[in-house]
Amino acid sequence: MSTERPTDTRKVTTLRLTEMKQAGEKVSALTAYDFLTARLIDQAGIDVILVGDSASMVFAGNDTTLPMTMEEMLYHTRVVTRAVKRALVIADMPFGSYHEGADKALHNAIKLMKEGRAEAVKLEGGASICPIVERIVDAGIPVCGHIGLQPQSIHTYGTYKTRGTQPDEAQAILDNARALQDAGAFAVVVEKVPKDLAVRITASLEVPTIGIGAGGGCDGQILVTPDMLGMNRQFQPRFVRRYAKLAEDMHSAFQNYHHDVRAGDFPNEGESYTA
Ligand code: KIV
């Protein structure tokens, strides 16, 4: 295991991501919702930290991302940005925060930047949200798109299965990616589409694509951090590579602590103060 600090300590910006695409350098991204995890991710040299609305599921235990509120997103964004020095921090716009018109969307994007200290926001959707994307970009706020599987639309899909497996839907996803770029998006997350489609999208855009479950052909990759740390034994899709087995490690740590307390073995002399 490498404990080396990244040699490139330059602050990651949206411009830097474009340069990375042009230079063929892959972008690494992970999600974060709390201070300590965000600090560790940043110190490891990850380029982008997404304060994802996946917090609704992996942090708060909801079945979907839909219940996430602006107040909750602001809270998570604030604690993450407090920890991060190098990575670009993107905050998700939660369900309902950009669906009621451009004015409200801009108002909420400004809150995430001003109160949350995010450096960009992410919205799910394609051509239909482009007027909103343009409005937010016009205000000087960088916008990341999100196409393919859009978890906020789960009740429309009825399933989390791969999107774009049929030619019509694949073409629509490609068109949506281009529309987002034309509307001013600086990057596009491509979720759960066949790898060949992700390659076509990546080749047709000047802005970087960041894939999740979209194969190795994107300009960058993102994973949900608790998933890649192996914290959820119930969720093991094929696209998640597990870099740790934290569920097992945490379970045995909790069991060992319980055992030590019950046995009167914790705290010992060295763990106690004297007058
Ligand atoms: O909310 C999230 O974590 C995301 C990733 C799946 C990209 O949007």
> Does any ligand 1 atom lie closer than 6 A to the CB of residue 212?
yes
Choice among 100, 191, 248, 271 that is catalytic = 191
Distance 224 CA to ligand 1 centre (A): 7
Distance 65 CA to ligand 1 centre (A): 9
Distance 260 CA to ligand 1 centre (A): 39
Q: Which of 5, 20, 66 is closest to 187 using CA atoms?
A: 20
Classify burial at 7, counting beta carbons within 10 Å of its beta carbon; exposed 0-12, middle 13-18, buried 19 or more: exposed
Centroid of chain to Cα 165: 24
Query: Distance between CA atoms of 87 and 81, rounded to whole angstroms?
Result: 10
Query: Distance between CA atoms of 196 and 123, rounded to whole angstroms?
Result: 24
> Does any ligand 1 atom lie closer than 6 A to the CB of residue 187?
no
Q: Which of 16, 62, 12, 54 is closest to 222 using CA atoms?
A: 54
Inter-residue contact 110 to 83 (CB < 8 Å): no
Inter-residue contact 214 to 240 (CB < 8 Å): no
Distance 227 CA to ligand 1 centre (A): 11
Confidence of residue 8 (pLDDT cuts 50, 70, 90): confident
> Does any ligand 1 atom lie closer than 6 A to the CB of residue 214?
no
Which residue's CA is the nearest one to ligand 1's atom 1?
Answer: 52
Confidence of residue 4 (pLDDT cuts 50, 70, 90): low
206 a catalytic residue: no
Query: Distance between CA atoms of 225 and 241, rounded to whole angstroms?
Result: 11
Inter-residue contact 94 to 73 (CB < 8 Å): yes
Instruction: Report cis status (omega within 30 of 0) of the bond before 267.
Output: yes
> Does any ligand 1 atom lie closer than 6 A to the CB of residue 148?
no
Query: Which atom of ligand 1 lies at the shortest distance from residue 224's CA?
Result: 3
DSSP 219-246: SEEEE-HHHHTT--TT---TTPPPS--H
DSSP 180-191: HHHTT-SEEEEE
> Does any ligand 1 atom lie closer than 6 A to the CB of residue 224?
yes
Query: Distance between CA atoms of 195 and 183, rounded to whole angstroms?
Result: 25
Confidence of residue 9 (pLDDT cuts 50, 70, 90): confident
Domains and CATH numbers, the chain: 14-244 (3.20.20.60), 245-275 (no CATH)
How many C-beta atoms surround the C-beta of residue 154 within 10 A? 16
Buried b / exposed e over 203-221, threshold 16 CB at 10 Å, is: eebebbbbbbbbbebbbbb
Query: Which atom of ligand 1 lies at the shortest distance from residue 65's CA?
Result: 1
Q: What Å distances lie between residue 240 and 21, 109, 165, 193, CA to CA? A: 23, 30, 20, 14
> Does any ligand 1 atom lie closer than 6 A to the CB of residue 14?
no
Which residue's CA is the nearest one to ligand 1's atom 2?
Answer: 52
- pLDDT digit string (tens) for 110-164? 999 999 999 999 999 999 999 999 999 999 999 999 999 999 999 999 999 999 9
Distance 150 CA to ligand 1 centre (A): 9
> Does any ligand 1 atom lie closer than 6 A to the CB of residue 54?
yes
Distance 242 CA to ligand 1 centre (A): 17
Inter-residue contact 73 to 159 (CB < 8 Å): no
For residue 127, what are its two tokens?
């051509």
Query: Distance between CA atoms of 21 and 19, rounded to whole angstroms?
Result: 5
- pLDDT digit string (tens) for 28-52? 999 999 999 999 999 999 999 999 9
> Does any ligand 1 atom lie closer than 6 A to the CB of residue 92?
yes
Give pLDDT, residue 37. 98
Q: What is the mean pLDDT of the chain?
A: 97
> Rounded mean pLDDT of 94-103?
97
> Rounded mean pLDDT of 256-264?
98
For residue 40, what are its two tokens?
């560790």
